[in-house]
Amino acid sequence: MSTSNKSAATVIARAAKAAFEASQLIASSERVQALHELRNELASAKEDILAANRRDLEAAQQEVNAGHMSSSLLKRLDLNKGDKWESMLQGVIDVANLPDPTGIVTYASELDDDLELYRVSCPIGVLLVIFEARPEVVVNIAALAIKSGNAAILKGGKESNETSQLLSKAIQSALSKTSIPSTYIQAIQTRAEVSALLELDQYIDLVIPRGSNSLVRNIQNSTRIPVMGHADGLCSVFLDETADLDKAVRVVLDSKTDYPAACNAAETLIVHEKVLSTVWPAVAKALLDADVHLLCDSPTISALQSLSPAPAKLTSHVRTSTLDSYTTEHLSLTLSVIALPSLSDAIRFINSHSSHHTDCIVTEDPAAASAFCRGVDSAGTFVNASTRFADGFRFGFGTEVGISTGRIHARGPVGLEGLVTYKYMLRSKGEKGHIVGEFGTGDGQKRYKHTNIEAKTVPFLE
Amino acid sequence: MSTSNKSAATVIARAAKAAFEASQLIASSERVQALHELRNELASAKEDILAANRRDLEAAQQEVNAGHMSSSLLKRLDLNKGDKWESMLQGVIDVANLPDPTGIVTYASELDDDLELYRVSCPIGVLLVIFEARPEVVVNIAALAIKSGNAAILKGGKESNETSQLLSKAIQSALSKTSIPSTYIQAIQTRAEVSALLELDQYIDLVIPRGSNSLVRNIQNSTRIPVMGHADGLCSVFLDETADLDKAVRVVLDSKTDYPAACNAAETLIVHEKVLSTVWPAVAKALLDADVHLLCDSPTISALQSLSPAPAKLTSHVRTSTLDSYTTEHLSLTLSVIALPSLSDAIRFINSHSSHHTDCIVTEDPAAASAFCRGVDSAGTFVNASTRFADGFRFGFGTEVGISTGRIHARGPVGLEGLVTYKYMLRSKGEKGHIVGEFGTGDGQKRYKHTNIEAKTVPFLE
């Protein structure tokens, strides 16, 4: 780490923390106003932003032509595709209209006469958000940070540099029309800055990486700051012995093929041995018809080979699996398949092979559903429903910060709630203030009351 | 790290994870039963345990005589002092009687007809708890882990080794009378095992260090596993310009002297310049009378020197502070004092010098109280109440896992709630199961309902 990178990063991180602290005394209505200003700034700067985006796209096209970039990455750069621009603007307003996640009392207790304790939600502090390619994420994340009261430092992919710079300019302009400090949202450009920032745990409170497995893993391995997100999305579907055939076909097909590159797509199918010759062949045929490649263990491949007539694409699309198949996130039309003799074997297999993201059972047996949901140690345990439902918007959160496979703080699809923590406020209204020395078990000493207080907000906050 | 330590640690960690996973299918009533068994096992083994404790004490006495151990550490070892033994047993029953923190629905929504989403609290997984000296912590932490459904690996101080081994034996006996695996709670003896375990983030989900600043800091610096707790307890009291003199004296004195070695004792006093000649002298006199040593900046020392008559102990107990004074956790009858010109200066000073544990304002001005509580970025912000109230028992949690200065997951005094996370369970009751491919904005596509469900528990869990 060069000294200049480190000192530049320290300046940025300190400014972010100072902006966060200063913002705590600003009414949350100003944050909502900032979001409306942001939408307007973006609308006014549309021509310039889309021109910058075209320059990014042209540069990216040359990278694709030279074989240095994938065409799918190129597509994600385009801010003018379909309704992406309008969605981005609407997204800012949607976030503005969500309920304020801060200032909510989640525990309140009268410890003694005139001594009131409130646990109240509040922002976390300074977020460092690192993402790839899609430039609209700058706006999306900035909106979430502003709404939740967190300062943020954003690092986008270098491919979208020109676009991101103008988006950041619009964010700055919007903030300048409010009393929120302009350093509340800062954009950085280089990986060296990221590396330096990842060391500054005294200023940065949470890192949110959104991007490839390797991006997330690298970040997790190089910082003491808590990281929210997921590296792998190794989801599985288990066909229980009582699985309904139609449900099995529909749920497996949707989980695998609805959007194979998503983290909530299924990568592994577990077949109960008792349905190898009943449910499995129909599921396999549907998968093969949908052009899915299957990596099968010996029992599941045999079950297909013994069919007459043999399923189409059996020779072209079905291969023998290896041990690695069951820990591989294919992110494509490939599915690993294994047969197991029981529900409890399936639960153990999932707990030791899945990435604890989302796992599904197809079953008609309520006891099996219950055991699966309790026994599978994942952020999502689903019954007869596609793994693809694991998503903040589908869950009804209004927005999604990301999906976390950690067990600490936020787990699964994370909405605005994942961007707040809480603090305890204790107020004495007593004539002499309150001291602990007066409480105890002895004669003449006070006892704690611990009487529940019904309150949604803290009454003494202005 | 030697290979043998690493492989021994892996065996322990794997067994803990397997025990955790197996325990998810066991009814929570068994966990309560295990706690009652534990109390009975301890009662039956009382003689043996106290004999082992006497051996630990004798060995410790020799260490104290040789100057290798402090006598305060020795005192903490004694399991037979006062009502410590009975409190330990009662503590187990108290934890057993607390409400179950798992299985509680905190969000439930109907995404579509017959498609129900539940966010339900569940244990985190495997805890690694590292503590010093006090042997009763073994029992205390084991009880919390069992109650909350987490497996735990416990490492106590080597000073209490003989006692801890018998306490662990009692825990094992208690578990063996239930269907909870005996490896659910494991005790380890050596630091080498701890070091090896801190690397096993695939098996261990949360580290809880309870002990000295250096213990916590070392652990935070040597693991990727989330750590819950606090290194420093640098709490402060701010005497605002409207501070009431009596409240100021009472709150400062209690915050500093009620138990100076505690993490929630005040280490810094900030005096508004406007009360330097009014409130501050009385507070200083009370502190000096209580034998507190003061490290003062120039304005606060001058204010005392100009008094006539000079306060007692002015020459013996008052010294000039240095910059380091304001980042030092004295843990003794020493207090750092500084004068500042405004509330906002005090807030900035606290945010940059305190350890974000607990800070207090003494004020009669509601606007100042509100600004302080919002602006000070600490787990606890108190008004006219001693910092010593920052404690799980005083807050009414029934028990305390520890106090966290982190902003992620649990913050401030942590009760049983800090030992649970949540997972999302999604169940389709639909005739064909549920797939995302049917939802969209197009004609003939389904829209999400997102209708709130009133539920305290998940109806389909057995």
Q: Which tens digit of pLDDT belongs to each residue from B416-460?
A: 999 999 999 999 999 999 999 999 989 999 999 999 999 999 998
Can you spell out the DSSP letters for A271-315? EEGGGTTTHHHHHHHHHHHTT-EEEE-HHHHHHHHT-SSPPTTHH
Nearest chain B residue to A406 by CA distance is B205
Distance CA B171, CA B174 (A): 5
Measure CA B393 to chain center: 11
Distance CA B318, CA A139 (A): 55
Which of B115, B423, B430 is opposite residue A378, by nearest beta carbon?
B423
Q: Tell me the chain A residues in contact with residue B396 when contact means C-beta distances shorter than 8 Å.
A: 109, 111, 117, 448, 450
Yes or no, beta carbons of A383 and B448 under 8 Å apart:
no
> With a cut of 0.90, is the ipTM above it?
yes
pLDDT at B402: 87
Please give the C-alpha separations between residue A316 and each of A301, A319, A321, A324, A328, in angstroms, as whole numbers. 13, 8, 14, 21, 20
Distance CA A65, CA A261 (A): 23
Nearest chain B residue to A386 by CA distance is B435
Distance CA A162, CA A160 (A): 6
pLDDT at B222: 85
Nearest chain B residue to A28 by CA distance is B374
Query: Terminus-to-terminus CA distance in chain B, angstroms?
Result: 45
Q: Is A29 exposed, middle or buried (0-12, 13-18, 19+ CB in 10 A)?
A: exposed
Q: Tell me the chain A residues in contact with residue B422 when contact means C-beta distances shorter than 8 Å.
A: 411-412
Distance CA B13, CA B11 (A): 6
Q: Can you give the pLDDT of all 462 residues of chain A as single tens digits?
A: 567 778 889 999 999 999 999 999 999 999 999 999 999 999 999 999 999 999 999 999 999 999 988 887 788 889 988 889 999 999 999 999 999 999 999 999 999 999 999 999 999 999 999 987 788 889 998 999 999 999 999 998 888 999 999 999 999 999 999 999 999 999 998 889 999 999 999 999 999 998 778 888 889 888 889 999 887 889 999 999 999 999 999 999 999 999 998 999 999 999 999 999 999 999 999 999 999 999 999 999 999 999 989 999 999 999 999 999 999 999 999 999 999 999 999 999 999 999 999 999 999 999 999 999 999 999 999 999 999 999 999 999 888 888 999 888 899 999 899 999 999 999 999 999 999 999 998 999 999 999 999 999 999 887
Distance CA A296, CA B246 (A): 78
Nearest chain A residue to B117 by CA distance is A395
Domains of chain B: 3-100+127-220 (3.40.605.10), 235-400 (3.40.309.10)
Q: What is the DSSP letter of B114?
A: T
Structure tokens at A260: 């194979």
Which of B373, B394, B428 is opposite residue A383, by nearest beta carbon?
B428
State how far residue A443 is from chain B, nearest Cα, in angstroms: 18
Tens digits of residue pLDDT in B414-426: 989 999 999 999 9
State how far residue A130 is from chain B, nearest Cα, in angstroms: 18
Nearby residues of B250 by Cβ (< 8 Å), 6 or more positions away: A432, A433, A435
With 60 as the cut, is the pLDDT of residue B160 above it? yes
Tens digits of residue pLDDT in B131-154: 877 888 899 989 999 999 999 999
* Cβ pair B115, B426 in contact under 8 A: yes
Q: Tell me the chain B residues in contact with residue A426 when contact means C-beta distances shorter than 8 Å.
A: 380-383, 385, 389
Nearby residues of A267 by Cβ (< 8 Å), 6 or more positions away: A233, A234, A235, A236, A328, A329, A330, A335, A336
State how far residue A48 is from chain B, nearest Cα, in angstroms: 30
pLDDT at A1: 52
Beta-strand relationship, A451-452 and A105-112: antiparallel
Please give the C-alpha separations between residue A397 and each of A104, B132, B228, in angstroms, as whole numbers. 17, 43, 28
Distance CA A462, CA A27 (A): 9
Indicate the residue type of B299: P
Yes or no, beta carbons of A348 and B21 under 8 Å apart:
yes
Other C-beta atoms lying within 10 Å of the C-beta of residue B27 = 10
State how far residue B397 is from chain A, nearest Cα, in angstroms: 9
State how far residue A159 is from chain B, nearest Cα, in angstroms: 31
Quick one: CA torsion of A276, A281, A282, A286, rounded to 10 degrees? Answer: 130
Yes or no, beta carbons of A435 and B250 under 8 Å apart:
yes
pLDDT at B318: 97
Nearest chain A residue to B384 by CA distance is A433
Nearest chain A residue to B353 by CA distance is A202
State mean pLDDT over B87-109.
Answer: 94
Which of A250, A432, A450 is opposite residue B433, by nearest beta carbon?
A250
User: Nearest to residue A266, comparing CAs of A244, A302, A297, A294?
Assistant: A294
Please give the angle made by the CA atoms of A131, A75 and A289, to the nearest 5 degrees.
105
Q: Tell me the chain A residues in contact with residue B378 when contact means C-beta distances shorter than 8 Å.
A: 423
Indicate the residue type of A385: A
Token match 């790839």: residue?
Answer: A132
pLDDT at B1: 52
Nearby residues of B107 by Cβ (< 8 Å), 6 or more positions away: B117, B118, B119
pLDDT at B317: 97
Distance CA B208, CA B422 (A): 19
Yes or no, beta carbons of A374 and B109 under 8 Å apart:
no
What is the interface size between A and B, counted as CB pairs within 8 Å? 266
* Cβ pair B231, B308 in contact under 8 A: no
Q: Tell me the chain B residues in contact with residue A435 when contact means C-beta distances shorter than 8 Å.
A: 250-251, 253-254, 258, 385-386, 388
Yes or no, beta carbons of B424 and A381 under 8 Å apart:
yes
Q: Is B7 exposed, middle or buried (0-12, 13-18, 19+ CB in 10 A)?
A: exposed
Helices (H), A24-160: 28-44, 46-65, 71-77, 84-97, 136-148
Tens digits of residue pLDDT in B280-324: 999 999 999 999 999 999 999 999 999 989 999 999 999 999 999
Q: Is B412 exposed, middle or buried (0-12, 13-18, 19+ CB in 10 A)?
A: buried
